[in-house]
Every structure is written in structure tokens, then in C-alpha cells.
Amino acid sequence: MTEQQTTNDALFDRAKGAIPGGVNSPVRAFGSVGGTPRFIRSASGPYITDVEGVERVDLVASWGPALLGHAHPAIVQAVQEAASRGLSFGAPTGGEVDLAEEITRRVPIAERVRLVSTGTEATMTAIRLARGATGRDLLIKFDGHYHGHSDALLVAAGSGLATLAMPGSSGIPDAIAHTTIVLPYDDEHAVEAAFAEHGDRIAAIIVEAAPANIGLIAPRPGFHAFLARTAHAHGALLISDEVLTGFRVHPSGMWGIEGTTGDDAPDILTFGKVVGGGMPLAALGGRRDVMDLLAPLGPVYQAGTLSGNPLAVAAGLTQLRLADDAVYARLDEVADAITAGLSDALTAEGVEHAIPRVGSLFSLAFAASAPRTYDDAKAQAIFRHAPFFHAMLDGGVALPPSLFESWFVTASHDDAAIERVLAALPAAARAAAAA
């Protein structure tokens, strides 16, 4: 390779000639902040290094999976050992049983667990299961909630669609889009009205366990239990999407914080990100009677050539086994330090802001109070974000390139990494104030 080809811009130009938009997932593009996404050479602990050799503190953590930090030695070793025994068998392994049991141990209402490869597959399967269990077609989802890119769930979704201000995706048949009822989040009356009108046709409500794809919204205590009771009263199910929150906001995910049981609890939960330790692995779990409707026991079909892949299982299991109380305490400390520094820097420059938080997960909103709905999130001072983001990048900190995404800390963020974040904040706050 010539000098020219190794620069980030040259690589992005080549990427655009080979890959639509130069990226394999739209959230990686600097769609709302402008500029060229950084191509990554390597990452270790809290640091990520781009192809030009610039090292930054990473607060994206692969969008959540890297709970312990990048390239954790024990996870890398477990994956290497698994690889040496074979990459994929298409037959069951003991590790899959260990991982399913570990998920059930942490989240006992997930009485049975099926492993899949992506969060999208987990939520897609969960809604198929709910439809199979109830014999009904309709699904309730909330405005701005993101559950992956399957057809029925890509209606009024957050994440990359929010960043790119896309109302939805083309290519989704009307007949499928019309099976999804979109409601404003946090609104009991809207849920009651939907059930009053369509109650006997609704299979499930799906909700992000803590909405985190339009910025973070801390759920109002009792709201998700209300969703469960309302669904159950009408013979429908509640699917709690813990792909982002699972094993991150608490050892047992958002369910561990809410602690709901019985009628108040979700029937199906979906997991991803942390559960795969950085490898392509996700899961769904839930009530035994519902989960046992999956093939080969029941009539709801779901399958995967690489499901429960042994390398992915080794990574996920090793990460979960290492994620003890001390790890979660450290995650909280890191979040405490960064949120305090963030707020101080913005306050010093007189920039209106809110920092909603659940466990160690948080986001930044340029608004007087934390947004509660997608409309609130869209109404904030979004124009302040691009200069803030780029000042942080220049100051050696990689943030999610969108105000509609949450920030992810890792247990590997030591005091030196935190100091680097704090040192970058004042200039970024000035840039936000000047916008």
C-alpha cells in the first residue's frame, strides 16, 4: 500500500466505490455530524486506534458489546481456544448449554433461551413467537424505538433512522407495515385506546427495556408493568427488548432493575450486544410455555446455520462470567465521573443540557429537561451536536456520531482514560455554545 492509500480519506473513497455509502451499517456513517468516519485499525481496553494511528478514548464500545473493554485478554483467549477446536459445527455444543443457563441464572423469567446471531433476529423471532402463541397479527411498538431492521419493526424506528431523519424504510410492504401500531411512549391512554379498538387482534407489545435509540429515556417506574398487565388482560404478550440494556445496566439487565414478576413481567425478552462479548450472538428467552412453541417442539419456525456459533458462545460466556459486581460498580463509577464532567463543562459555558441515565448507560440532550418522547428528542438543539462531537474527536475521544444514540462506558475505562475525556470536554462545550 502507498502512503496515500493508508490515509483515512483514501480508504473512505475506496469504500464508497465498493460498499453503499462506504459503511456496512448506517450508524457508522457520520450522517448527522458531517466529515469522514474513522476507519479502525485496532482497539484495546478503553482505547480505539484509527488507520492513521490516532488513539482515542472510546465511548461507543462497539455500540454496547464491549462491557469489559476491547480485546479483553480472557475473551480473546477463549475465542482463540474455541477456534482451534473448529469454527462451526452445525450441531449442538456444551458451551451453548452453559450460556443459556447463565442467561437464565441472571434473568430467571427467561426459563428457556434460544441463541441467534443478531439482535434483529432475536426481536424478529420474538414477534413471530408472539403471533404464533396468540394466533393474532397486530403488534404495538413505540415511536422512535429501535428493534433491529426486520420489516414489521422498521416502522417509526429510532437509531440510524432518527439520525438520518428517515420516517421509515422503503421496501416494506404496506400489508406488513399495517400490522404495526405505533404509539407514543410513556402514554397509558394511547395504549388503552389501542387495546379498546383492536384488543382481540393484538399479539404483542414490544418495548425497549429502556429506550436508548433516540437518546436515552429512563422508563417511568411502573410503566412497563402497566404494559404487561394491559397486554395480559387482552390475551396479548409483552416483549421486552433488552438487546441494548441486557447485562449492561445491571447484572440482570433492565429486568434486574425493575424486578417484575407474574402478571407485571414480560413474557419474552431479547438480548444481544453484551451477551455475545463482541461476537455475533444474540438470544431470546421467556416463559417456558411460550418458548416451547419454537421448532422443533412447536409450530413456530426459526433456525440458523451459525446460531450458537462456538466462538461467539465462548466470547459471550467468558464476558458474562467475568462481569461480577465489581465490574458493574466500576461501570457506575466511570459513568459518574464522565456525566459529572460533561455537565460541569456544559454548565460553565451556559449550554442547556440534560443527561438521562439508567445504570451506567446515559446520553446527552441539548434541552432543558430529558426528552420523554421521540417528539421531545427531535425538538432539542440538535445543531449543537456536530461541533461538540468533532471537538471531542479532535480532543481524542470517540463518541457515538449522533445525538440520538447512548454513550457506552466499559469497565476498562481507568482513571487515565477518564482524565482524557474530562480534558477534552471544555473545548467541546465551548464549540457547542458557539454553535
Binding residues for ligand PMP (CB under 6 A): 63, 118-120, 123, 146-148, 159, 208, 213, 241, 243-244, 272, 282
Instruction: Name which of 28 and 72 has its Cβ closer to ligand PMP.
Output: 28
Q: Give me the catalytic one of 146, 185, 328, 374.
A: 146
Of 193, 319, 350, which is closest to residue 247 (Cα–Cα)?
A: 319
Question: What is the C-alpha to C-alpha distance for residues 386 and 50, in angstroms, rounded to an integer?
Answer: 20
Q: What is the Cα–Cα distance from 121 to 103, expressed in whole angstroms?
A: 17
Q: Is 13 a catalytic residue?
A: no
Tell me whether residue 213 or residue 260 sits nearer to ligand PMP (CB atom).
Answer: 213
CB nearer to ligand PMP: pick between 172 and 427: 172
| Set 58, 143, 267, 273: catalytic member | 273
Between the alpha carbon of residue 75 and those of residues 42, 81, 334, 411, the distances in Å are 16, 10, 22, 14
Alpha carbons 47 and 332: distance in angstroms, whole number? 19
The CA distance from 432 to 153, in Å, is: 34
Query: Does 146 qualify as catalytic in the annotation?
Result: yes
Rounded Cα gap, residues 63 and 182, in angstroms: 25
325 is catalytic: no
Closest to ligand PMP by CB, 148 or 395? 148
Closest approach, Cβ 220 to ligand PMP, in A, equals 18
Neighbour tally for 167: CB within 10 Å = 8
Task: State the minimum distance, in angstroms, from the CB of residue 181 to ligand PMP.
Answer: 18
Task: Tell me the closest approach of the beta carbon of residue 44 to ligand PMP, in angstroms.
Answer: 23
Burial tier of 434 (Cβ tally within 10 Å: 0-12, 13-18, 19+) = exposed
Query: Of 147 and 390, which has the nearer Cβ to ligand PMP?
Result: 147
Q: Which residue is nearest to ligand PMP (CB)?
A: 119
Neighbours of 303 (CB within 10 A): 10
Which contacts (CB < 8 Å, 24+ apart) does range 103-106 have? 103/271, 103/275, 103/283, 103/285, 103/320, 104/285, 106/247, 106/251, 106/252, 106/253, 106/256, 106/320
- State which residue, 245 or 380, has the beta carbon closest to ligand PMP: 245
Instruction: Between 398 and 432, name the residue whose CB sits nearer to ligand PMP.
Output: 398
- Gap between the terminal Cα atoms of the chain: 39
The C-alpha angle 262, 263, 266, rounded to 5 degrees, equals 85
Instruction: Answer yes or no: are the C-beta atoms of 286 and 110 closer than 8 Å.
Output: yes
DSSP state of 294: B
* Beta-ladder partners of 364: none
> What type of residue is 22?
G
Strand 268-271 relative to strand 237-242, pairing:
parallel
Active-site hit among 50, 143, 241, 267? 241
* Active site residue ranges: 146, 241, 273
